[in-house]
């Protein structure tokens, strides 16, 4: 089927305006959006259409709501223009918002780093894999934070995404392994950024089991036990 | 491509459209009276979206209150070049409603329930709206022009508050199919509604 061989980040604009992208994919798509005028134009139009879906649900608000809101407004300062959207989220849902703040930091940092062309290419490659029509997610469970591998067979590659990972011990690095014909073969080395996040493209599609270990810098031919996290593709 | 597409409103621009823009401009300068008037224009949509997505009326009204306060706080950042004030308010409301359901423990249960009855997940998403107006009828008619898959994926994502991969699970469809159906459906919806950004 052609849709499995022509991955296209633009298709994510639909789920994006419906708030149907998970946080990590939303961050990647917003990065793409910042560099794609066509997507921005389409986003504005489709968002307006989504607004109509919302307006069609209109109901009479409960009578008490008006007084509550207007009373709250009396004692609430407005934000200056350009204030980030994440500050409001932190207020309302502190637990979820730690992640949102982390992501905001990643975006801000990413925006700086992406000024270099090769970095932009790398982000584009990551976005293309995540946005691929055949992309599927392999959760990798274990200690050291939440990881998942977004796999696209059409691309022949995957993207490792993680949040809240501790830095490896000095002189060590994390390694991802794919199990092939009963053997664990190295799929790549990675280290979280200062914010504990990992966004890394991995060559090759995991046939079955994937694992994560801690290895000496430079990696190893065989995994050093223990395997700290595993997932099944 | 989009620049060449003719845009015309086939029905009158709803009364209050320009009014909402004017009010939000005043609210952006700290005008609390203007906010009270803007509240009357947009609160029905905010409460409607919150109840549709969150479902539990108590929690939904909490979300609605937070959203309306956020409209006040963030009014100075509103950029008319990016869309109308009503679209902006609906965007905030939907985003916050989705944040709420995704942070909830009951998310799994919700999903199970919708999976069981997915063929009729939201047979008429606009039923139950007490403010019946041209807008509501236009949207119902526009949704009626979509294919079943386009309509189901959009309804589950927007009204159900699901991610596209959850939609794929519920409907037992490949992820790529869900992404493209949602986008194609939204494009068709945009054209049917003659929406301008």
Domain's final residue, options B86, B119, B152: B119
Which of these, A188, A192, A193, lies nearest to A220 by C-alpha position?
A188
Residues B150 and B104 reside in one and the same domain: no
Q: Sort strands A157-163 and A198-203 into parallel, antiparallel or unpaired.
A: antiparallel
Residues B85 and B131 reside in one and the same domain: no
Residues B31 and B88 reside in one and the same domain: yes
Tell me the pLDDT tens digit for each residue of A53-79: 999 999 999 999 999 999 999 989 998
Domain range spanning residue B28? Answer: 3-119
Residues B84 and B32 reside in one and the same domain: yes
Q: What pLDDT does A105 receive?
A: 56
CATH of the domain at B178: 1.10.10.10
**Which residues of B fall within a CB distance of 8 Å from A90?**
none
DSSP letter, residue A162: E
Q: What pLDDT does B21 receive?
A: 92
Judged on CB neighbours under 10 Å (0-12, 13-18, 19+), A34 is: middle
Q: Could you say which of A15, A95, A137 has the minimum Cβ distance to residue B157?
A: A15
pLDDT averaged over every residue in chain A: 77
Q: Could you say which of A3, A53, A88 has the minimum Cβ distance to residue B158?
A: A53
Q: What pLDDT does A106 receive?
A: 54
Residues B51 and B18 reside in one and the same domain: yes
Q: What pLDDT does A116 receive?
A: 45
- State both tokens at A34: 């910042």
Of residues B171 and A1, more confidence is placed in B171
What domain count does chain B have?
2
Q: What pLDDT does A185 receive?
A: 85
Q: What pLDDT does B143 receive?
A: 94
Alpha-carbon distance of B196 to A116, in angstroms, equals 35
A141 sits in which H/E element: strand A136-142
Alpha-carbon distance of A47 to B82, in angstroms, equals 10
Output the tens digit of pLDDT for each of chain B's 197 residues. 444 344 443 444 445 568 899 999 999 999 999 999 999 999 999 999 999 999 999 999 999 999 999 999 999 999 998 899 999 999 999 999 999 998 764 455 555 555 554 444 444 444 444 455 778 888 999 999 999 999 999 999 999 999 999 999 999 999 999 999 999 999 999 999 987 66
* pTM for the structure as a whole: 0.61
Residues B17 and B108 reside in one and the same domain: yes
- B52 in A contact zone (CB under 8 Å): yes
B67: Cβ–Cβ under 8 A, 6 or more apart, which residues? B46, B50, B89, B92, B93, B96, B97
- B147 in A contact zone (CB under 8 Å): no
**Which residues of A fall within a CB distance of 8 Å from B154?**
18, 53
Residues B87 and B139 reside in one and the same domain: no
Which of these, A200, A223, A198, lies nearest to A213 by C-alpha position?
A223
Three-state SS string over A167-218 comes to CCCCCEEEEEEEEECCEEEEEEEECCCCCCCEEEEEECCCCCEEEEEEEECC
Q: What pLDDT does B40 receive?
A: 95
CATH of the domain at B49: 1.10.1740.10
Residues B107 and B46 reside in one and the same domain: yes
Domain's final residue, options B54, B89, B119: B119
- Residues A49, A53, A56, A59, Cα dihedral to 10°: -130
Residues B161 and B85 reside in one and the same domain: no
Which of these, B84, B185, B98, B49, lies nearest to A22 by C-alpha position?
B98
Domain's final residue, options B119, B140, B167: B119
Alpha-carbon distance of A192 to A162, in angstroms, equals 8
Alpha-carbon distance of A216 to A86, in angstroms, equals 38
Q: Could you say which of B66, B90, B179 has the minimum Cβ distance to residue A133?
A: B179
Residues B90 and B142 reside in one and the same domain: no
pLDDT at A117 over 70: no
* Top-confidence range, A130-139, A165-174, B28-37: B28-37
Residues B105 and B132 reside in one and the same domain: no
pLDDT at A90 over 50: no
Cα B57 to chain centroid distance, Å, stands at 17
Residues B91 and B154 reside in one and the same domain: no
pLDDT at A163 over 80: no
Alpha-carbon distance of B69 to B75, in angstroms, equals 10
Q: Number of A to B CB contacts under 8 A, please give it.
A: 246
User: SS3 of B91, please?
Assistant: helix
């Amino acid at each position: 089927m052609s849709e499995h061989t022509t991955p296209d980040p633009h298709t994510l604009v639909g789920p994006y305006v419906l708030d149907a992208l998970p946080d990590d994919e939303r961050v990647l798509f917003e990065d793409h959006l910042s560099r794609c005028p066509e997507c921005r134009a389409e986003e504005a139009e489709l968002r307006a259409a989504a607004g109509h879906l919302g307006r069609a649900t209109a109901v009479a608000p409960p009578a008490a709501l008006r007084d509550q809101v207007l009373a709250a407004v009396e004692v609430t300062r407005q934000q200056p223009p350009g204030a980030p959207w994440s500050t409001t989220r932190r207020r309302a849902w502190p637990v979820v918002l730690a992640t949102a703040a982390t992501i905001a930091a990643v975006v801000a940092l990413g925006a700086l780093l992406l000024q270099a062309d090769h970095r932009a290419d790398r982000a584009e490659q990551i976005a293309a894999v995540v946005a691929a029509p055949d992309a599927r997610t392999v959760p990798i469970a274990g200690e050291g934070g939440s990881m998942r591998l977004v796999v696209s067979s059409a691309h022949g590659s995957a993207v490792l995404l993680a949040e809240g990972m501790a830095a490896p011990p000095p002189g060590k690095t994390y390694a991802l392994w794919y199990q092939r014909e009963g053997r664990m073969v190295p799929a790549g080395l990675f280290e979280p950024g200062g914010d504990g996040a990992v966004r890394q493209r991995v060559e090759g599609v995991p046939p079955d089991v994937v694992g994560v270990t801690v290895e000496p810098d430079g990696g190893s031919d065989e995994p050093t036990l223990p395997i700290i996290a595993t997932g099944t593709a | 491509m989009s620049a060449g597409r003719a845009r015309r409103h086939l029905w009158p621009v709803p009364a209050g459209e320009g009014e909402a823009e004017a009010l939000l401009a005043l609210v952006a300068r700290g005008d609390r009276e203007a906010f009270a008037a803007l509240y009357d224009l947009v609160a029905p949509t905010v409460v409607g979206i919150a109840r549709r997505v969150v479902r539990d009326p108590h929690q939904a009204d909490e979300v609605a209150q937070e959203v309306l306060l956020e409209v006040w706080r963030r009014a100075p950042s509103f950029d008319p070049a990016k869309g109308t004030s009503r679209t902006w308010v609906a965007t905030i409301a939907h985003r916050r409603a989705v944040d709420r359901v995704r942070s909830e423990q009951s998310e799994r249960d919700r999903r199970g329930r919708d999976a069981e009855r997915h063929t009729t997940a939201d047979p008429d998403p606009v039923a139950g709206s007490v403010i019946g107006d041209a807008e509501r009828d236009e949207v119902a008619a526009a949704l009626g022009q979509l294919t079943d898959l386009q309509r189901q994926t959009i309804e589950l994502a927007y009204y159900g508050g699901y991610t596209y991969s959850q939609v794929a699970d519920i409907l037992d469809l490949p992820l790529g199919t869900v992404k493209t159906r949602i986008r194609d459906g939204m494009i068709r919806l945009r054209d049917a509604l003659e929406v301008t950004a």
